[in-house]
Amino acid sequence: MAGTKTTKLNRRNFLLAVGAGGAATVAAIAAKTTPQAMPADTGSGKRSTKGYTSSEHINNYYRTTKV
């Protein structure tokens, strides 16, 4: 009976390792392929990073909401 218990535990450990390895692989691929958005540099000086700035993404959104 002792052999049956260790076989079940080994199978569980194997399935757990496969699941964790698959999740880690997917996370690594997703992190590698996701592009990082760079902020648009529209001015110079200390105040250029504060406040509302229009970008291409925002302009596309506004364009699609026009009736």
Nearby residues of 41 by Cβ (< 8 Å), 6 or more positions away: 48
Q: Where are the domains of the chain?
A: 1-35
**What residue type is assigned to position 56 of the chain?**
E
- What number of CA atoms fall less than 13 Å from residue 28's CA on the CB side? 6
pTM, whole model, 2 decimals?
0.36
pLDDT band of residue 40 (cuts 50, 70, 90) is low
d(CA 39, CA 53) in angstroms, rounded, equals 10
Residue pair 38/53 in contact by the 8 Å Cβ criterion: no
Tens of pLDDT, residues 13-34: 888 888 888 888 888 887 776 5
- If one counts every other C-beta atom within 10 angstroms of the C-beta of residue 58, the result is 11
Considering the chain, what percentage of its residues have pLDDT values greater than 70?
Answer: 60
> For residue 47, what pLDDT is reported?
58
pLDDT at 36 > cutoff 70:
no
